[in-house]
């Protein structure tokens, strides 16, 4: 009789490169964080989500804190990169679509969770534990966005103005992530994503108006609102 045990092919073990394994663990970490939050994160849950042994997660990241730090640094870098890309794509917006294009950048930032991650790092005293991404890509794209929107009239805008603009947006994004829904409820505005989406579009429209006003003020292009006369 044939030896069926010998004829049965052995199950192949899935082998991952170090980089692929780390990426898979980080994706699993993101899923677990969305479900349980940072305080509820357990390595055993991450391992199960990734389809790996607990020891494999430890091998790649050393500890729970090491995993959180690696995930946070990676997520922030990815978020800033995608926000800069969305900002860059908005450069092609027609003049009457500038506000909506900027609002979509705000949407991307919130989807990436940049504001929420920064708030967690700052409020938890963890800022020095992770690599904070360089914001220069946002600064460069913000400069390009202004020039595409307002042409040569922004030649007088200083580098400091652009950086303050990015700082303004960064604080805005973090503030929405921390208290947006609570403040919407307190102000009897629509709650959830409906209210926050409306806020982003309102803010984007006002940012565009702010730049038009500032540009007119510094270049005398006639965009300033007329003053009331007696």
pLDDT per position as a tens digit, 83-135: 888 887 777 777 788 888 888 888 888 888 888 888 888 888 888 888 888 89
Mean pLDDT of 163-171: 89
- Provide the CB-side half-sphere exposure for 123 (13 A, CA): 11
Give the domain CATH number at 40.
1.10.10
Lowest mean pLDDT among 3-12, 113-122, 192-201: 3-12
Residues 113 and 44 in one domain: no
In terms of residue numbers, what domain contains 28?
Answer: 16-62
CA gap 86, 91 in Å, rounded: 9
- What are the tens digits of pLDDT across the range 28-43? 888 888 787 777 888 8
Residues 33 and 114 in one domain: no
The pLDDT confidence band at residue 183, using thresholds 50, 70 and 90, is very high
Judge whether residue 6 has pLDDT over 80.
Answer: no
Residue 227 placed within a domain: no
Mean pLDDT of 219-228: 43
Residues 98 and 172 in one domain: yes
The pLDDT mean for the chain works out to 78
Residue 70 placed within a domain: no
Residues 203 and 138 in one domain: yes
Structure confidence at residue 167 (pLDDT): 92
Total number of domains constituting the chain = 2
């Amino acid at each position: 009789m044939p030896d069926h045990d010998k004829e049965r092919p052995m199950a192949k073990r899935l082998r991952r490169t170090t980089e692929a394994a780390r990426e898979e663990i980080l994706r699993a970490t993101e899923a677990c964080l969305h479900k349980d939050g940072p305080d509820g994160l357990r390595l055993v849950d991450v391992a199960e989500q990734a389809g790996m042994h607990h020891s494999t997660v430890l091998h790649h990241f050393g500890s729970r804190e090491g995993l959180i730090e690696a995930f946070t640094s990676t997520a922030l870098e990815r978020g800033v990169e995608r926000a800069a890309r969305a900002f860059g794509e908005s450069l092609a917006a027609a003049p009457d679509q500038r506000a909506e294009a900027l609002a979509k950048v705000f949407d991307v930032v919130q989807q990436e969770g940049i504001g929420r991650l920064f708030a967690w790092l700052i409020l938890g005293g963890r800022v020095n534990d992770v690599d904070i991404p360089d914001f220069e890509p946002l600064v460069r794209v913000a400069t390009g966005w202004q020039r595409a929107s307002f042409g040569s009239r922004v030649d007088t805008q200083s580098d400091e103005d652009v950086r303050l603009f990015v700082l303004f947006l960064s604080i805005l994004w973090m503030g929405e992530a921390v208290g947006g829904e609570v403040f919407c409820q307190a102000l009897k505005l629509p709650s959830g994503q409906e209210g926050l989406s409306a806020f982003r579009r309102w803010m984007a429209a006002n940012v565009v108006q702010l730049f038009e006003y500032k540009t007119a003020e510094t270049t005398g292009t006639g965009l300033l609102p007329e003053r009331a006369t007696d």
